[in-house]
A and B are shown apart, each in its own frame.
Chain A
């Protein structure tokens, strides 16, 4: 059994959240460049240029891309042959969040849902564990901002709605979200499983890179079609009008109950922050 020190996990999580918040992904920057070349709206092109300049400043100053540095979401794959020593795994992950948000000058946005009292250190993190074969731990850190998250929805469609009903639900949700989630957005769609599973699939879809299509060619086609339909809505960057309302759409699909058709849409702003490491 391979041993991993809890302290190593703390450090990794700390670094991941600082990195994700200050350094915009190269895939996003490339998508910005494509939008600057193709969007018909001069205002849209100007907004995207502003976002590029913002990313440059954030990287140079190592300050956050956005003041909303998110609620800390973690996808953690734990190899079944790993033993964490010197502390608990969950405690180590939360300590990493505490350190990252404190030492990285990131905004602490976690609060009690009723009293709204801030927990002051951005814990507890929302952690999704998965047990996998092997002797490694893979950690994906996703600082998830509130504005885009609030535009997300789950619906239990009737199976008769079919694939067209699913596509329609996604497009109408993005239309209703309008300018609120800081378009251009990235849209994660989870279809199948149960009520809660669909939402998790939608969030997990957002850990892909822009342009990374679903391995299933039929689903890849659906992703491209829904992206095109969203970009015909005219909402554009920041909702000021344009052809770049979303940068990408990702579908994740699993079998569901014969009576059900759960569909979840998780909306993500243009920053698409996520970073990962393998210990």
Chain B
């Protein structure tokens, strides 16, 4: 299993060299966004308005962190199940989004969009919220504070561990992995 270090924002060249099963350590900025924030972003796009963050080259992390204890940047922060963001993801990739971090299967349209717009889907270990929070150095809310755990946060990460689930060629680690060990 290859281990690759990447800095965000990601370029088309960065994502095109990734293949399923690659272990990647991300350093730079991730934006947190989950169900309610995605709906708001999508509504802005539909209305032809600017988004609160420029998502070109960025990576969105599907996470709703636990509250930070005093003296810490963030509480537990593992991935949430991604399929709920499927209706919104292709549009965001069309606008330049290069990566998504979550867990669980994506729909066919999302996988197609990753091929078309050159983007990848990373998996982070579900449930490992305490461990993953250690890679997050700083967190600040940049939009939708009223959504509480669903607000958009700018997360500064160092060596944030992820695995490539869907690459830009349409491969799927979930399909290939299960095939290999099915009895």
Interface residues of A (CB under 8 A from B): 40-43, 47, 50-51, 53-55, 57-58, 61, 63-69, 105-109, 116, 118, 120, 146-147, 150, 178-182, 232-236, 238-243, 269-271
Q: Assess whether A238 is in contact with B67, with CB atoms less than 8 Å apart.
A: no
Quote the shortest CB–CB distance from B81 to chain A (angstroms).
4
Q: Assess whether A57 is in contact with B131, with CB atoms less than 8 Å apart.
A: yes
Knowing A61-B130, A105-B75 touch, does A147 contact B65 (C-beta < 8 A)? no
Knowing A53-B131, A180-B103, A238-B103 touch, does A68 contact B68 (C-beta < 8 A)? no
Knowing A63-B66, A63-B76, A64-B75 touch, does A179 contact B130 (C-beta < 8 A)? no
Knowing A64-B66, A147-B126, A180-B83 touch, does A234 contact B179 (C-beta < 8 A)? yes
Contact of B129 among A54, A180, A235 (CB under 8 A): A54
- Which 7 A-B pairs have CB atoms at the shortest separation, nearest pair first? A241-B177, A234-B182, A182-B126, A180-B104, A234-B181, A54-B131, A54-B128
| Residues 83 to 120 of chain B near chain A (Cβ within 8 Å) | 83, 103-105
Q: Give the complex CA separation of A143 and B161 in angstroms.
A: 26
Q: Give the complex CA separation of A131 and B21 in angstroms.
A: 52
Contact of B182 among A65, A68, A120, A233 (CB under 8 A): A233
Contact of A116 among B36, B127, B183 (CB under 8 A): B36
Most chain-A CB neighbours within 10 Å: which of B123, B131, B176? B131
Contact of A234 among B104, B131, B173, B180 (CB under 8 A): B180
> Does B24 sit within 8 A of A, measured CB to CB?
no
Most chain-A CB neighbours within 10 Å: which of B68, B76, B174? B76
Most chain-A CB neighbours within 10 Å: which of B1, B35, B177? B177
Contact of A178 among B63, B104, B183 (CB under 8 A): B104
Q: Assess whether A63 is in contact with B177, with CB atoms less than 8 Å apart.
A: no
Closest A residue by C-beta to B163: A240
Q: Give the complex CA separation of A42 and B176 in angstroms.
A: 15
Contacts of A65 in B (CB 8 A): 76, 127, 129-130
> Does B149 sit within 8 A of A, measured CB to CB?
yes
Contacts of A233 in B (CB 8 A): 178, 182
Interface residues of B (CB under 8 A from A): 1, 21, 35-36, 63-69, 75-78, 80-81, 83, 103-105, 123, 125-131, 133-134, 147-149, 163, 173-174, 176-183
Contact of B81 among A41, A64, A180 (CB under 8 A): A180
Q: Assess whether A241 is in contact with B181, with CB atoms less than 8 Å apart.
A: yes
Q: Assess whether B125 is in contact with A238, with CB atoms less than 8 Å apart.
A: yes
Q: Assess whether A106 is in contact with B127, with CB atoms less than 8 Å apart.
A: no
Q: Give the complex CA separation of A271 and B128 in angstroms.
A: 10
Closest B residue by C-beta to A145: B127
Q: Assess whether A51 is in contact with B68, with CB atoms less than 8 Å apart.
A: no
Contacts of B21 in A (CB 8 A): 43, 240
Contact of A41 among B83, B128, B181 (CB under 8 A): B181
Q: Assess whether A239 is in contact with B178, with CB atoms less than 8 Å apart.
A: yes
Q: Assess whether A179 is in contact with B104, with CB atoms less than 8 Å apart.
A: yes
Closest A residue by C-beta to B123: A238
Contact of B181 among A64, A146, A243, A270 (CB under 8 A): A243
Contacts of A69 in B (CB 8 A): 66, 76
A–B Cβ pairs within 8 angstroms, 9 of them:
A58-B76, A65-B127, A66-B127, A182-B127, A238-B125, A239-B105, A239-B178, A241-B177, A242-B177
Contacts of A53 in B (CB 8 A): 128, 131
Q: Give the complex CA separation of A240 and B174 in angstroms.
A: 5
Q: Assess whether B81 is in contact with A63, with CB atoms less than 8 Å apart.
A: no
Knowing A66-B129, A234-B181 touch, does A107 contact B134 (C-beta < 8 A)? no
Q: Give the complex CA separation of A57 and B181 in angstroms.
A: 30
Contact of A67 among B35, B104, B129, B147 (CB under 8 A): B129
